Amino acid sequence: MNVKTSIAKTLLTMAIPFLTLNTAFAEDSDLPLPLTTPPGFIGPDSDLTPNLNNNVLQIGSVDSADQPGAYQNVHFYLTEQGKWELSNYHVGIELSETSFTDVELIITDTSPTQVFLKISGDTGCGSERFKQINHTLIGNTFNVFAYAELYLFAGFRPPSTCESSFTKIIPLSVYGLPEGEYSYNVNSGLFSGSFNLQNNTISPEGIQ
């Protein structure tokens, strides 16, 4: 089995549950194509919702075993033989450390308890722009990844009014978790912290 076939099978396997659940948060993009664009790329991500058009299945992002959103803008093509073939994808690029300004943990006093991460940053008007955030829970740790788009500015001058700052509030999926200590990890350890759930996060009304 060659590398491309192996990747295709892995992505398709991971994509199946992704068709019904996508925890990514993204911005529409009308900027030049990212540097990581593979040959045959049909356009920038405008929607992370899986889309089937003319026998091409486009999925905004697919998780790897240990990294949510690791593969982005994944395309499968339905052949005349009725088989899905991987046609395009690119590997997600983590937002650089200099683009972050703050990561704040927010815990509500509601019942059930809700937990959020407020992620703020400023990419400037250079070659990087905020793209999306994906997260997953592994054990007792929420692994959060903020991704960037990179652009080639040869012959392109960013507008003086470019919107480079961003603030995203990400709900961590604590509903249904037992009480105990949990941690979060942003972009492979750039930011990390922990919090304690004092009570089970299932509301009494939700118990039958």
Averaged over 2-7, what is the pLDDT?
Answer: 51
Q: Which two tokens stand for residue 56?
A: 């091409």
Cβ(109)–Cβ(57) below 8 Å:
no
* pLDDT at residue 196 greater than cutoff 50: yes
DSSP type of residue 57: E
State whether residue 28 is helix, strand or coil. Answer: coil
Confidence (pTM):
0.70
pLDDT per residue as tens digits for the range 55-86: 899 998 899 988 999 999 899 999 999 999 99
β partners of residue 116: 106, 171
pLDDT per residue as tens digits for the range 84-132: 999 999 899 999 999 999 999 999 988 888 999 999 999 887 778 898 9
d(CA 66, CA 52): 27
Q: Checking DSSP bridges between strand 93-94 and strand 128-138, what pairing results, if any?
A: unpaired
d(CA 191, CA 25): 19
d(CA 122, CA 102): 10
- Mean pLDDT, the chain, integer: 76
Q: Which two tokens stand for residue 30?
A: 């009308």
